[in-house]
Amino acid sequence: MAWKKWVVGAAVGAAAVYAIRAASRPALLAPEKALAIAKQSLGGPLSIRGSWIQAAPERYEKNGLTYTVYRGGICRDDGDDEFWVNAYTGAIVDTKPL
């Protein structure tokens, strides 16, 4: 009978640890919110003609660090840029001209 109590206790403990870890993970930003942050950061003095963002987050490595990012682009009068924005914080990880 003691082993049944031990198994039930272990199962309850494992479920509690799983629930706590799941609740403590930061939530991903909505892609639209990440695009709005990127447009505000990269817009500059020129008007933005168009923009896009991929809705599925992807892995991106830069300087030996791995990020979860959304990839997108901005079209301005002076040129077009592709950007990678952190899916959790909204920080711009990298940009490159298209």
Q: What is the pLDDT of residues 22-37, one digit of tens each?
A: 777 778 899 999 999 9
**For residues 10 and 8, what is the distance between their CA atoms, to the nearest angstrom?**
5
* DSSP at 46: S
Amino acid sitting at position 11? A
* Predicted pLDDT of residue 1: 60
Dihedral sign from CA coordinates of 74, 75, 77, 78: positive
Q: Is 12 exposed, middle or buried (0-12, 13-18, 19+ CB in 10 A)?
A: exposed
Average of per-residue pLDDT values in the chain: 87
Q: What is the pLDDT of residues 38-52, one digit of tens each?
A: 988 887 776 888 999
